[in-house]
Structure 1
Amino acid sequence: MLTLYIINNCDTCRKARQALDEKALLYKTHDLRKDGLSAALLEHILHRVPLVKAINKRSTTWRALSDEDKDYDANSARQLILKYPTLLKRPLLERNDGTILVGYRDGDYDKLS
């Protein structure tokens, strides 16, 4: 089963859910705020998505960080993401083969079955 990692009030996440629903694909959601982001789940994600690609540098959360926090290394980035799950780009769609698609644009899920 597909897993869609979201933040519930994110417009892009809503569009991704709608696209999956329109294709009648079975999926479960994991809200990174409500359901949480554990260190184990973060490592699971980062094992499949490069850290540089996983951080949402366009987010309000990123813009609010200090310059010192923005000058991160791999370890400090992990700590920041655990503290502020909204730093992860979203949605993240984990496919049955374990790969994770980052973000969503119209048509991204067209080839899913």
Structure 2
Amino acid sequence: MTVYGIPNCDTVKKARTWLTDNGFDYEFHDFKKQGITAGKLQEWCAVFGWEKILNKKGTTWKKLSAEQQESVKDEASAIAVLLGNLSAIKRPVVEQDGKAVLISFDEEQYAGLLK
């Protein structure tokens, strides 16, 4: 299992605490330090949709210029903005057996989907 996110994000902290408390072993991928590829973002978009991957509620999105925000019209344009603004990626993303299974943190969803 791999958890993608940034360590100082409160939602990532909650997810990591829940996983640890429930006995799950996982690798943490800090995409601010380790990066993320366009291919990985495409994989996640195929599972969740680009609209869910792009965190429009976060401060990073809100700090983007109106032009940058308006340029996001589809998956390709969303990925381009995300690669330049990693904190705008909704997090955490949890992969199990190499496939994205969860995004963000919801205790019931984690308990129901993770084995």
Partner of 1:39: 38
Q: Percent identity?
A: 33
- CA drift at 1:53: 1.0
* Match status 1:84 vs 2:85: yes
Q: Higher helix proportion, which one?
A: 2
- CA drift at 1:80: 0.7
SS at match of 1:47: helix
Contact 2:54 2:90 in 1 (8 A): yes
| More moved, 62-71 vs 40-49 | 40-49
Q: How many residues align?
A: 112
The one-letter amino acid of 2:34's match is D
- The runs of 4+ residues in structure 1 deviating greater than 4 Å are none
The one-letter amino acid of 2:66's match is D
Contact 1:45 1:100 in 2 (8 A): no
Gaps of 5+ in 1: none
Superposition TM-score, scaled by structure 2 size: 0.87
Partner of 1:26: 25
- CA drift at 1:97: 6.9
Q: Name the Cα RMSD after superposition.
A: 1.5
Gaps of 5+ in 2: none
Residue 85 to residue 97, structure 1, CA distance change in 2 (3 Å): closer
